[in-house]
Chain A
Amino acid sequence: MSDNVIEARGLLKLYGTARAVNEIDLDIRRAEIFGLLGPNGAGKTTTILMMLGLTEISGGTVNVLGFDPVRQPLEVKRRVGYLPDSVGFYDHLTARENMRYTARLLDIPRRDAEKRIEDALASVQLADVGDKRVSTYSRGMRQRLGIAEIVMKGAEVAILDEPTSGLDPHATNELLEMIRGLKKAGVAVMLSSHLLDRVQSVCDRVALFNKGKIALMGTVVELANQVLGAGHPLLVEAQGTDIEGVIRGIEGVQQVVAGGDGAWRVTADRDVRAAVAHRIVTAGGSLTRLADLQPSLEEVYTRYFQKEIRHAA
């Protein structure tokens, strides 16, 4: 078997005549974290549901761990953990009782189940509140309980739909740490999210969804090169002379944009940091900051959709 845990080819979902997911190809590799990004209604959740066999596929094929979710949904669901968007639990039951129910649905032998529930709850730091009713849980704790369920399941693939939406920064960081933990345990993780900078920090690869199609796919750096163009973005803060003119005179500089407050964003086709520093100082200016800008996913995202709108207009 290949290294891919999920392979989708020409995956299509029609709602009436609308193409919610329009013939996408997608590969998820073993033990990687893959991010699905895109505006609401771009087809992310539909894609996820099709992979789990929870909604019908209108066309194309999906293969999850060697199984077909259309014909063998039970086999797929036995091996894939799913954390739905704003997951719900039975509020009148405790966390442990909720987990026990899932364990029974998974047909885990009772003696085995107790140990696995304990371990899973401990891994998401809920062991001490495991006997409290879920109605007392915060949103972050519910999400963690959802992760615990995936851990207990011993899933090979974890699919998380908007796992960080509505969480405070601290809870988000905790959750992302747990997602990294899943990856370390050899689980392939597929997640969809709006929090781009957070996604950037955990994802190995991302796919940018737009109107049911995958617009871009690859690592964050690859996407940045495609959308923002290859090059070295710089941030320069300086004063005392005609900084913009000085920088424009440097060979290799393509673009200088004033960012206000004595700051400029510079794009060059090579590393021009040394030259920039030298020129400003010799021109009598005082250089206060010179930073290499990492391409940010947010920038890629915004720029890409700006382009889209412009093309459409």
Chain B
Amino acid sequence: MRREGSPFTGVGPVFTKELADHLSSIRMMVLTLFVIVFGAFPVASSLQQLRTVVSADAYLFLRIFTLEPERVQITFVTALNFIIPLMAIGLGFDSVNSEFNRRTLSRVLSQPIYRDALLLGKFLGGLATLAVGLMALWLIVFGAGLLLLGVPPGGVEVARAAGFLVVAIAYGGVWLAVSMLFSVIFRSTATSALCALGLWLFFFILWPMVASSIAMSMAPVQFTSADELLGFEQFGQALMRVSPGTLFSEAVAALLNPETRVFGDFSNLFLARSRGTIPNAPLPFDQSLLLIWPQVTGLVAAMIVLFAAAYVIFQREEVRA
């Protein structure tokens, strides 16, 4: 039996309400503060260091994002890799179950909209909020760079930085979908927040260790050829790429360090095999894009799969308390 009417009826009102709620909420202010504190520190330090650079660098502006300052030991990108999930989880962990607990869900769903519209509107509202926050942060960093470095960024640099912003939003979208999935599964907002944060910590702290120990256990006693070593290395990388954080950092590395050609610890080995390349020569922008295409696709695919899972569970859920 087919149902009639567009599943998108009402997405607009839900989206605008969610966006307005997020932007005016205290939670958003706290998250923004968090991001600024975490982001400003590495940026300020790297700016300080970059001002003393005298050598010519075609991509000086992009170094703001990727330079690891001597004193702080954390790049802006690494900070974001850590902070974006927190922001996304903060925005999404109670999106559906709070409606349930406030008993607004059945009243809203008795209006002429499908559940599809409610979930999609909420997701897009959260994503837009995230995008607004990241865009603001990005502009602040850009502005600070302009003021303190006194060097205008080149066109390619702006394009690369914009690409970085898009990847960051996609990365946030993955974690937003994760937290919304938990908010659909668990009735208690505390449980859903805990699960989302637990998964985040798992991927950040535990997964690198787990992945390397899995890879180690599969390794032969002795490598007999470079191919074998490469295959082993690729397997380890594939495991690491299960974590969205890895995909994000690889994609960002290729965008912001135009010299990046391959990822991983054994990049020299890869490079040795690709003949005719000039080491440390920057790649053109479109080549960098080609390089990170799988990573970006992976992020978007993860976002869609997680959202679809949340959607299926939400459709089957009973409305009554």
Contacts and interface: CB of A to CB of B under 8 A. Distances in A.
A146 B110 CA distance: 12
A281 to B, nearest CB: 59
A196 to B, nearest CB: 23
B3 A73 contact: yes
A20 to B, nearest CB: 11
A77 B111 contact: yes
Given A74-B113, A104-B13, A82 B319 contact: no
A82 B106 contact: yes
B103 A54 contact: no
Interface size class of B (residues with CB under 8 A): 20 to 34
B110 A82 contact: yes
Nearest to A70: B1
B2 interface: yes
A173 interface: no
Interface stretch (A87-95, A124-132, A212-220, A291-299): A87-95
A308 interface: no
Interface in B22-63: none
In this complex, the member of B104, B110, B113, B114 whose beta carbon has the largest number of chain A beta carbons within 10 angstroms is B110
A75 interface: yes
B107 A55 contact: no
A105 B320 contact: no
Contact of A85 (B5, B108, B321): B321
Contacts of A104: 12-13, 16-17
Nearest to B103: A88
Contacts of A106: 111-112
A84 B108 CA distance: 10
A78 B13 contact: no
Contacts of A91: 102
B104 A72 contact: no
Contact of A90 (B3, B12, B16, B104): B104
Given A70-B3, A86-B321, A105-B113, 11 more contacts: A54-B319, A72-B5, A77-B110, A77-B111, A78-B112, A82-B106, A82-B107, A85-B320, A85-B321, A104-B17, A107-B10
Interface of A: 45-46, 49, 52, 54-55, 70-75, 77-78, 80-92, 101-102, 104-107, 146, 149
Interface of B: 1-5, 9-10, 12-14, 16-17, 21, 102-104, 106-114, 318-321
Closest 7 CB pairs of A and B: A88-B103, A82-B110, A104-B13, A74-B5, A105-B111, A78-B112, A84-B106
